[in-house]
Amino acid sequence: MQDRRLCVLNAGSSSLKFAVFGAGDDALPRLQSGEIERIGSEGRMQVAASDGKVLHDRMVTTKDHAAALSLLAELPDGPLDKRGLIGFGHRVVHGGPDMAAPVLVDSVTLAKIEALEPLAPLHNPPAVAVLKALSDLFAGLPHVACFDTGFHRGHPPVADRFAIPDALYREGVRRYGFHGLSYEYIGGALAERVPDIALGRVVVAHLGSGASMCALAGGRSIDSSMGFTALDGLPMGTRSGSLDAGVILWLQQQKGWDVGRVERFLYADCGLKGLSGVSNDMRTLLASSAPLAKLAVDYFVYHVARTAGALAAALGGIDGMVFTAGIGERSPEIRSRVLHRLRWLGFSIDEAANQSGGPLLTRADSALPAYAIPTDEELVIARHTRAMVQGTQ
């Protein structure tokens, strides 16, 4: 391994993804990556080198994220090998109203992140658990928190606010937007690969188990489909997406559901899983002949296209579109169906190019271009982490 390295961690509710980057090279080469799945029960630990060679692959049983980190720390030449390690970067989903840029984590910032746990109950708590466990395992090494909400700060007030009293806005009840690290990467990738539209008006669709869309103008976010929490906007794997607040009142008043049950319902039992009654996985739904599975796919496509139109209106026009993340990068059928719904905007899909993964998905005579571009949130975190760690040395 290179002499200077940094480790990036992305903690999910029951998983831990990680990547190791060489910090002595301007290009920040990826040296290792992997994941521990199904934390809290029997799961799988995988670590691979940059060339795809499998370094470790075995079933493991972990009680919590701290136990998962301990397993990684025991691996010879693993992601937590102390030799040359200069710091850690962390994906933190919600930064609230005060943390709009990456921060070096100390007791004050950690307390602020913990206080935001009710706004991101699936994501912030495991990130905090990893931060605390790593601080115990590697005392003295710096940690940098990078927030998915940060990229969206600076939206105009009409996009940033809800139609509620100003006092609540000043308390932090506002539209934050999420998947910002992904959108930051796509903005940079467009500048390198498609400069003709990078400074224009682009709608980006981050479509995965968690899904959102963003309006970029000149590479900056001006609006997003997600709002106060990561429940808003598009239907997702198990999350509802936009929902009339009256439905929540009805569940509480007519069915007697308490807050805990409503929260579990909205985060775990809705979205594609709830609508289809079959699965939260788009691949399973596309392969299913069940009527409700077909409806769930149609519903997802409809709302992606509908949101693209709304964001194009927010931009005052559109110069191109990008699909990214798991579904956006790997599902030609979903891309095709969305672009066919957006023919009125000027997209003419090249089906052969779409089937092969692009990156350009549209025909030469298409009025507007559409692209499939893989995202790399870990690289964005690594860039911010190195900059902040070097600033402390």
* 114 Cβ contact list (under 8 Å, min separation 6): 124, 128
- Dist. CA 12–CA 35, nearest whole Å: 10
Widest Cα–Cα separation across the chain: 62
- Partnered with residue 147 across adjacent β-strands are 92
Q: Which of 26, 136, 148, 166 is catalytic?
A: 148
- Dist. CA 389–CA 28, nearest whole Å: 14
- Dist. CA 26–CA 167, nearest whole Å: 45
Burial of 27 (0-12, 13-18, 19+ CB in 10 A): exposed
- Dist. CA 361–CA 358, nearest whole Å: 5
148 included as an active-site residue: yes
The answer to whether 345 touches 312, Cβ cutoff 8 Å, is yes
Give the gyration radius of the chain's Cα atoms: 21
**Residue 98 identity (one-letter amino acid):** D
- Beta-sheet strands, E only, within the chain: 5-11, 16-22, 30-36, 42-49, 54-61, 85-92, 103-104, 143-147, 201-206, 212-217, 220-224, 320-324, 370-372
SS3 20: strand
DSSP secondary structure letters along 189-208: HHHHH-HHHHTSEEEEEE-S
Place of tokens 């975190």: 381
Tokens of 254: 């007519």
Compute φ and ψ for 59, nearest 5 degrees: -80, 140
Question: Strands 320-324 and 370-372, how do they pair?
Answer: parallel
* Active-site residue list: 148
